[in-house]
Amino acid sequence: MNTKKNYKILIAEDEESLAMLIDYNLIKDGYQTNIVKDGELVLSECQSFNPDLILLDWMLPNISGIELCRRLRTQKKYNNVPIIMITAMGEEGDKIRGLETGADDYITKPFSFPELLARIQAVLRRSNLSKGQNIIKVGDITINRDEYRVLRDGISLSLGPTEFRLLNCLIEHPNMVFSREKLLDNVWGVDNINVEIRTVDVHIGRLRKALSIEGKKDPIRTVRSAGYSLEQNF
Ligand code: CA
- Domain with residue 173: its CATH number is 1.10.10.10
* CA-based radius of gyration for the chain: 20
The last residue of a domain, from among 127, 160, 180: 127
Q: Mean per-residue pLDDT for 65-77?
A: 88
Looking at the fold, whether 86 and 181 belong to one and the same domain comes out as no
- CA–centroid distance, 65 to ligand 1, in Å, is 9
End-to-end Cα separation, the chain, in angstroms = 48
118-142: per-residue pLDDT in tens? Answer: 999 888 877 766 555 577 888 889 8
- CA–centroid distance, 116 to ligand 1, in Å, is 17
18-32: per-residue pLDDT in tens? Answer: 999 999 999 999 899
The angle at the Cα of 109, spanning 108 to 110, to the nearest 5 degrees, equals: 125
Per the rule left: phi > 0, alpha: psi between -120 and 50, beta: everything else, 225 is left
181-206: per-residue pLDDT in tens? Answer: 999 988 887 666 777 888 999 999 99
What range defines the domain where residue 45 resides?
4-127
Residue 80 to residue 172: CA distance in whole angstroms: 14
Residue 97, domain CATH: 3.40.50.2300
- CA–centroid distance, 57 to ligand 1, in Å, is 6
The last residue of a domain, from among 110, 127, 144: 127
Residue 230 to residue 234: CA distance in whole angstroms: 9
- CA–centroid distance, 81 to ligand 1, in Å, is 21
Task: Tell me the pTM.
Answer: 0.56
Count of domains observed in the chain:
2
- CA–centroid distance, 111 to ligand 1, in Å, is 14
